Structure 1
Amino acid sequence: MDKAWQDVLDRFSYGIYLVTVLSPEGFNGMIASWVTQCSHEPPRVALAIRKSRLCHEQIRESGTFCINVLPRESAERIRQFKIADWRKKFDACSYSPSPSGLPVLDDCIGYLDCTVDHTIGTGDHTLFIGTIQSGGMILSGTTAPLTTADYGGVYRGDK
């Protein structure tokens, strides 16, 4: 991609979320920023995942994912979800199962439990369109969500 275009894209503002999945081998989680609501009725969200990520294949196979909305204070702590051994990502955190059995961090703002309805290839990512099956607030009050501004200003997903 032309560098000038990337500089503009780096100025886009996104939330930083933890997407959790369940595979036959266990739980996995990854940091994601390309997440958005895309329908109110039925309630749906869109999630873009790079095709080379393990979670990509796990979402394809399971047909489910859970979006954890992270508090601003978690910027450093969530780096544990970038470790090489994906089976150990949840060792250092406290979580509870969502209604579909996916990890929900005990200190997240809230979560959305989703089933995949559509997939759209978009180049090096797949756009997973998920219908929200359940969700809820975990922390309430004035907790602000984590954004790219809190996460070093830029999150390209390739670092």
Structure 2
Amino acid sequence: MEKEWQDVLDRFSYGIYLVTVSSPEGYNGMIASWVTQCSHEPPRIALAIRKNRLCHEQIRESGNFCINVLPREAADRIAQFKIADWKKKFDNCKCSPSPSGLPVLDDSIGYLDCSLDHTIGTGDHTLFIGTVKAGGLVKADNVVPLSTADYQGVYRGSR
């Protein structure tokens, strides 16, 4: 990608979310920013994940994912979801199961429990389209969601 284009894309603002999944080996979670609502009826979410991520295959296999909306004060805690040993990502983390059994952080603003409907290859990422099956607010009183404006660095797709 030409540098001039990337400089503009670096200034887009996105939320920073925790995507959680479950596999026979346990829970996994990853930080994602390319998340958006894409339909009201039925309620659907679009989520883009790089094809080399473990969560990518786990979503394909399980057919479910959960979006946790993180509060701004979680900015310094998201590093725990970037560690190499995915089976330890939820150590020292308080969470409760969503209706489909996926982790919802107890200090998240809210969550959306989704079942996978469609996948679309988009280059080095896959766009997962999921229908919202359940969701709710966990703590909503005057809580500001975490966004790329609160996050150190930019994502240029190379890592």
Aligned residues: 159
Following TM superposition, the consecutive aligned residue runs of length 4 or more in structure 1 with deviations greater than 4 angstroms are none
**Identity percentage of aligned residues:** 80
Per the normalisation by structure 2, the TM-score is 0.97
CA distance in 2, matches of 1:107, 1:12: 26
Contact 1:27 1:102 in 2 (8 A): yes
| 1:18-38 deviation digits (Å, cap 9, x = unpaired) | 000001100000000000000
Aligned to 2:113: 113
| TM-score w.r.t. length of structure 1 | 0.97
Q: Structure 2: which 5+ residue stretches go unaligned?
A: none
1:53 alignment partner AA? R
**1:52-131 alignment runs, 5 A limit:** 52-131=52-131
Q: Which amino acid aligns with 1:50?
A: R
Once residues 14 and 157 of structure 1 are traced to their aligned partners in structure 2, the CA distance between those partners, rounded to angstroms, is 15
Aligned match of 2:11? 11
Computed over aligned residues only, the root mean square deviation of the Cα atoms, in angstroms, reads 1.0
Cα 1:82–1:44 shift into 2, 3 Å:
same
How far is 1:95 from its partner? Answer: 0.2
Runs of 5+ in structure 1 lacking a partner?
none
